[in-house]
Each structure stands twice: as C-alpha cells, then as structure tokens.
C-alpha cells in the first residue's frame, strides 16, 4: 500500500512517508482543537444554534484552519514542497487556483 502512495505522491523514502502521515495527524487534530475556541469567541455553540446548523458551520470553519495548519506543520517538518503541491491540488478541487 505504501508503495502505491509513494509513487503517486512522488515520495522517495518510508521516512518521508512517515513524516507526512505525522503531519496529517497533527494537522487534523490541531484544526479540530483550534476551531472550538474560535467558535466560542464568535458565540457559536450548541446552545446558541441548533445542531443541524452548528456542525456545518464548524466544519466550514475547520476547512480553512486545516489548510493553513497543513502548510505550517508541513514546513516545520521540512516537507513544504510536498504540502504546497498537495494544498494547490486540494484547493483546485474547490475551484481555487494557486500558482
């Protein structure tokens, strides 16, 4: 399985693949943690909004936070080039083109 991803992503070593997985894990966890205080600051809670509104709003907030953190953590772990290419591809699927 790793070999297919290494080829698809242009990764040269298992170490680099491990670092990339660590960055994805840290970014996902951190973006969820960061979203809560932002929502609370904006007074968006399950007490102020119905759940069917709260969760889509939270997810929409997590998406841009995740994008920014992915670049930050990717850079800190020495994988900026990989994550910048990954980010451009992901954002292009949302209709946002970066050079």
pLDDT, one tens digit per residue, over 55-69 is 999 999 998 899 999
Convert the pLDDT of each residue in 18-73 to its tens digit.
999 999 999 999 999 999 899 999 999 899 999 999 999 999 999 889 999 999 99
Residue 83, pLDDT above cutoff 90:
yes
Amino acid 12: pLDDT: 86
pTM score, whole prediction: 0.83
The alpha carbon of residue 13 and the mean position of all alpha carbons in its chain are separated, in whole angstroms, by: 22
Candidates 28, 21, 99; CA nearest to 62 is 28
């Amino acid at each position: 399985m790793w070999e297919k991803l290494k080829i698809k992503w242009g990764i040269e070593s298992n170490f680099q693949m491990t670092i990339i997985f660590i960055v994805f894990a840290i970014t996902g966890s951190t973006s969820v943690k960061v979203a809560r205080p932002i929502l609370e600051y904006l007074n968006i809670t399950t007490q102020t909004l119905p759940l069917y509104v709260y969760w889509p709003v939270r997810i929409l907030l997590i998406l841009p936070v995740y994008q920014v953190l992915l670049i930050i953590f990717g850079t800190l772990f020495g994988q900026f080039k990989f994550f910048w290419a990954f980010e451009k591809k992901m954002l292009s699927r949302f209709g946002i083109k970066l050079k």
